[in-house]
Amino acid sequence: MTLKKILPSLALLTLPMLAQAADYPAPIEAMRERGIEVLDKFDAPSGLTGYTAMYNGRPLALYVTADGEHALIGSLLDAKGEDLTGAVLEEKVSRPQSKVMWEKLQNSNWIADGSDKAEKTVYVFTDPNCPYCKRLWKDARPWVDGGKVQLRHVMVGTLGEGSQKKAAYLLSAKDPKAALKGNESGKSPAKEIKVAAEQLKQIEDNQELMRLLGVNGTPAILQLDETGMMQMHPGAPQGEQLLELFGPRP
């Protein structure tokens, strides 16, 4: 399984931006005009000046020559062929964004599945009508019921109006945990209700967060690795993937 390190589309406004267009060398300004978001400046070897940037949600590095007249995009290698760029992008873009986006997940509108004392917290974008979300719910039972993992279902309605109405039902239920269990297990499917303003905002906020994180479908699983970097797994994991995500089976 390949876990995606932080995430395709990111909230750029949370990162330091260079204040004035006049601060940019001409090649950097030209790239900005082509849609590249320049984030921060960093030191680079051999007279180069480095800039972290984003394009179409992807982090990249720009290197400007000493005369300020030319720029290179991509990875800078040393005499041994080792990449000097990856660590810069991780430290200046991916790692700060992991912290920011994890806090956004914590503050999103989710329904907990499992103990608050679980060893691991995992966020899942969940649509009430998504069959793969239901499969994940079922396959995760050993870890959730065993107290190892708490799944926090960030409710969205991406599969149409019916999904929004069911998401609103779950979010507004007297016992959201029980309502979620009934829907995901199939024993008591969520009802399609009129979506009140409060639930509509909750769902729209969740879907905006989904967009910021570059999530294109449900389920999408997000968690922090041992280094504090956010990882994303799209889709319902199977077999060894479950072990990689949740740890040894209880």
Q: Tell me which fold the domain 8-95 belongs to.
A: Nuclear Transport Factor 2; Chain: A, (3.10.450)
Dihedral of CA atoms 230, 233, 234, 236 in degrees, nearest 10, equals -140
* pLDDT score for 237: 93
* pLDDT score for 56: 66
* pLDDT score for 70: 94
Distance CA 171, CA 153 (A): 10
Indicate the pTM of the whole model.
Answer: 0.77
**Coil vs helix vs strand at 13:** helix
Q: To which residue do tokens 């390190």 refer?
A: 5
Cis peptide before 219 (omega within 30 of 0): yes
**Beta-bridge mates of residue 124:** 153, 221
Match domain 108-246 to its CATH number in 3.10.450.50, 1.10.10.10, 3.40.30.10, 1.10.3470.10.
3.40.30.10
pLDDT along the chain (250 residues), means of 10: 41 39 82 89 92 81 94 92 90 84 95 96 98 97 96 97 97 97 96 96 96 90 91 92 93
* pLDDT score for 57: 61
pLDDT per position as a tens digit, 111-160 = 999 999 999 999 999 999 999 999 999 999 999 999 999 999 999 999 99
Q: Which residues, in sequence order, are CB contacts of 230 under 8 Å at separation 6+?
A: 5, 6, 7, 97, 98, 101, 102, 222, 223, 224
Query: Domain locations in the chain?
Result: 8-95, 108-246
Contact 184, 83 (CB under 8 A): no
Phi, psi of 231 (to 5 degrees): -120, 145
pLDDT per position as a tens digit, 49-59 = 999 988 866 78
